[in-house]
Amino acid sequence: MQKLKEIDNKISQKNIDLESLISETYTKIAELERAEYNYDANKGALSIFEKENTNIIFDKTGDKPIDDLIEEYKRQFDRFDKETKQQYKQRDKLKPEYENLLQKINTAYKEAEVFFVPLFKKFAKNLKGVSPLMD
């Protein structure tokens, strides 16, 4: 009976670890997808803007309010461009971690399978002497 409790504790801990890894994986997937979406949206918006405004010259006009507005747009563009590059870096940084977590999950599943399948077969065989459906 003590052995069964030990096995149950190990199973519980493995399940907790597995759930934690799965949750962390989903979080990393969401972050990666969000970064890719933001990049694509910014890249598309820039492309459309450039196509629609090929005749715009970004030199000073001599009209202070307009020049200030143009400068503000330049700052916004630079900020968005920088954010896009940061999102790419974050995506590239998270990808190996995601693959590592996925590998850990697969390993945990295989470990659980190796441990539990024989155990459940044994329980099924001992239960009323019926052999399990799976061999």
- The answer to the question of residue 88 being in a domain is yes
Q: Which residues contact 26 (CB under 8 A, 6 or more apart)?
A: none
- The answer to the question of residue 130 being in a domain is no
Domain span including residue 77: 18-45+66-109
- The answer to the question of residue 135 being in a domain is no
Any idea what the Cα angle at residue 47 is, between residues 44 and 43, rounded to 5°?
Answer: 40
Q: Can you give the pLDDT at residue 128?
A: 63
- The answer to the question of residue 125 being in a domain is no
Q: What is the pLDDT of residues 78-114, one digit of tens each?
A: 999 999 999 988 888 888 888 888 898 989 888 888 8
- The answer to the question of residue 11 being in a domain is no
- Provide the CB-side half-sphere exposure for 25 (13 A, CA): 15
Tokens of 95: 């990808």
- The answer to the question of residue 123 being in a domain is no
- For 132, which DSSP code? P
Q: 35, 90 in Cβ contact below 8 A? A: yes
Q: What is the pTM of this model?
A: 0.35
Q: Can you give the pLDDT at residue 80?
A: 92
Q: What is the pLDDT of residues 43-86, one digit of tens each?
A: 888 888 888 887 776 567 778 888 888 889 999 999 999 999 99
Total domain count, the chain? 1
Instruction: Name the strand (E) or helix (H) holding 7.
Output: helix 2-52
The conformational region for residue 33 under phi > 0 = left, psi -120 to 50 = alpha, else beta, is alpha
- The answer to the question of residue 90 being in a domain is yes
Q: Which amino acid is at 10?
A: K
- The answer to the question of residue 128 being in a domain is no
